[in-house]
């Protein structure tokens, strides 16, 4: 009787064929690259002046990223209990601003900025959606990501295209890291994820995150 076992290690999903009758492992039957598994991605982009606070596009792209095993860092749903930017926090922030409490606004924004920039620090790559909405934080996050030599993937939406975006941006990131649709961006990431070789672009540093963190998260006996 022939049985199939499933082993997972690192960026590979491995299916091994085992022949119980002869008590030996025949061969690795299937290997599928999954290079983005365990990599973290921060979702940058304007929030303050958008009617949905930037929640919609982040919720739409997150399942696509998680399907590749990417750990998503979403500023609208932060995995920390400080520097949050949910609807309640935004209402309190607007009330302080309307009341002229600028020092209160400053203190709140210092924490938000610290948390968001730390998310950039922790990311293996960053996705930035720009649609022409005024922003300041997103540009600082772009600059920081570029300085840290991370893949900084720009998604131009709304009225923005490669030909009308501020040319300063073109000097910051390679043209192949600027996309004009979500589909184009995800297609690029799927090619990275499914590549048999580590990306030659050394901005990508795709460590074996699963093995690296397995013991810490699941325990020494996992």
Tens of pLDDT along 179-222?
999 999 999 999 999 999 999 999 999 988 877 877 777 775 65
The reply to whether 55 and 146 lie within a common domain is yes
The reply to whether 6 and 115 lie within a common domain is no
The reply to whether 6 and 53 lie within a common domain is no
Q: Report if residue 216 sits inside a domain.
A: no
Split the chain (222 residues) into runs of 10 and give each run's mean pLDDT.
41 45 44 88 91 92 97 95 86 90 94 97 97 94 97 96 96 97 98 93 89 75 59
Find the domain containing 12 and state its range: 2-33
The reply to whether 164 and 115 lie within a common domain is yes
The reply to whether 12 and 65 lie within a common domain is no
CATH number for position 158 = 3.40.50.450
The reply to whether 28 and 61 lie within a common domain is no
The reply to whether 91 and 123 lie within a common domain is yes
pTM of the model: 0.83
The string of DSSP codes covering the chain is -EEEEEEEETTEEEEEEEETTTTEEEEEEEEEE-TTTT-EEEEE---TTSTTTTHHHHHHHHHHHHTTTPEEE-TTS-SSSSS--SHHHHHHHHHHHHTT-HHHHHHHHHHHHHHHHHHHHH-SEEEEEE-S---SHHHHHHHHHHHTT--EEEEE-TT--TTTS-HHHHHHS-GGGEESSHHHHHHHHHHHHT-SS--SSTT-----HHHHHHHHHH-TT-
């Amino acid at each position: 009787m022939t049985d199939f076992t499933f082993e997972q290690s690192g960026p590979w999903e491995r299916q091994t064929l085992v022949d119980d009758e002869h008590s030996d492992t025949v061969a690795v039957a299937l290997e599928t690259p999954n290079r983005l598994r365990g990599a973290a991605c921060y979702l940058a982009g304007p929030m303050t002046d958008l009617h949905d606070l930037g929640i919609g596009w982040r919720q739409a792209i997150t399942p696509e990223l998680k399907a590749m095993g990417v750990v998503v860092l979403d500023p609208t749903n932060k995995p920390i209990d400080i520097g949050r930017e949910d609807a309640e926090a935004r209402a309190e922030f607007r009330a302080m601003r309307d009341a002229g409490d600028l020092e209160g606004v400053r203190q709140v924004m210092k924490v938000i900025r610290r948390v968001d920039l730390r998310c950039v620090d922790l990311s293996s790559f960053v996705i930035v959606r720009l649609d022409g909405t005024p922003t300041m934080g997103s540009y600082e996050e772009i600059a920081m990501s570029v300085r840290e030599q991370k893949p900084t993937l720009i998604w131009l939406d709304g009225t923005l295209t490669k030909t009308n975006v501020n040319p300063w941006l073109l000097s910051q990131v390679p043209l192949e890291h600027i996309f004009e649709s979500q589909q184009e961006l995800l297609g690029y990431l799927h090619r990275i994820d499914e590549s048999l070789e580590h990306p030659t672009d050394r901005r990508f540093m795709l460590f074996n995150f699963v093995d690296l963190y397995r013991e810490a998260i699941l325990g020494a006996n996992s």
